[in-house]
Amino acid sequence: MQTRYARQTVLKEIGEAGQRMIADSTVVVVGLGALGSNCANLLARAGIGSLRLADRDVVDWTNLQRQSLFEEEDANQSMPKAEAAARHLKRINSAIRYEPITDDIHPGNVERIVAGAAVVVDGLDNFYTRALINQACVKHGIPWIYGACLGTYGNIATIVPGVSACLNCLLPDVAQATTPPLSCETFGVLGPVAALVAAWQSAEALKIVVGKQAAVSPQLVYVQLWDNDFSLLPMTRNAECTVCGQRKFELLEQGNRLATASLCGRDAVQIMPSRSFSMDFDLLRETLSRILTVEENPFLIKFRADDHDVVVFHDGRAMIFGIADPKAALSLYAKYIGG
Ligand SMILES: [Zn+2]
How far apart, in Å, are the Cα atoms of 258 and each of 61, 270, 275? 27, 10, 11
108-123 pLDDT tens trace? 999 999 999 999 999 9
- For residue 57, the CA-to-ligand 1 centroid distance in Å is 29
pLDDT at 140 exceeding the cut of 80: yes
70-111 pLDDT tens trace? 999 999 999 999 999 999 999 999 999 999 999 999 999 999
The SS3 assignment for 213 reads helix
DSSP string, 66-132: T-TT--HHHHHTT-BHHHHHHHHHHHH-TTSEEEEEES---TTTHHHHHTT-SEEEE--S-HHHHHH
Longest Cα–Cα distance in the chain:
63
pLDDT at 258 exceeding the cut of 70: no
pLDDT at 148 exceeding the cut of 80: yes
In sequence order, what are the residues at sequence separation of 6 or more whose Cβ sits closer than 8 angstroms to the Cβ of residue 270? Answer: 56, 104, 260, 261, 262, 263, 317, 318, 319, 320
The pLDDT score that the predictor gives to residue 305 is 92
- For residue 238, the CA-to-ligand 1 centroid distance in Å is 6
- For residue 252, the CA-to-ligand 1 centroid distance in Å is 15
CB 300 within 8 A of CB 80: yes
The pLDDT score that the predictor gives to residue 2 is 60
- For residue 291, the CA-to-ligand 1 centroid distance in Å is 52
pLDDT at 3 exceeding the cut of 60: yes
- For residue 135, the CA-to-ligand 1 centroid distance in Å is 9
Residues known to be catalytic = 184
Q: What angle (nearest 5°) sits at the alpha carbon of residue 105, between those of residues 94 and 274?
A: 125
Q: Which of 56-60, 127-131, 255-259 is predicted with the least confidence, judged by mean pLDDT?
A: 255-259
Residue/partner pairs of 279-284 with CB below 8 Å, 24 or more apart? 279/315, 279/316, 279/337, 279/338, 279/339, 281/312, 281/314, 281/316, 284/312, 284/337, 284/338
Please tell me the total number of residues recorded for the chain in this structure.
Answer: 339
Q: Which of 49-58, 95-104, 145-154, 279-288 is predicted with the least confidence, judged by mean pLDDT?
A: 279-288
Phi-psi region of 161 (alpha: psi -120 to 50; beta: other; left: phi over 0): beta
Res. 252 pLDDT band, cuts 50 70 90: very high
CA distance 304 to 311: 9
The closest alpha carbon to 236, from 146, 169, 141, 316, belongs to: 169
Average pLDDT over residues 294-304: 93
pTM of the model: 0.91
CA distance 142 to 118: 7
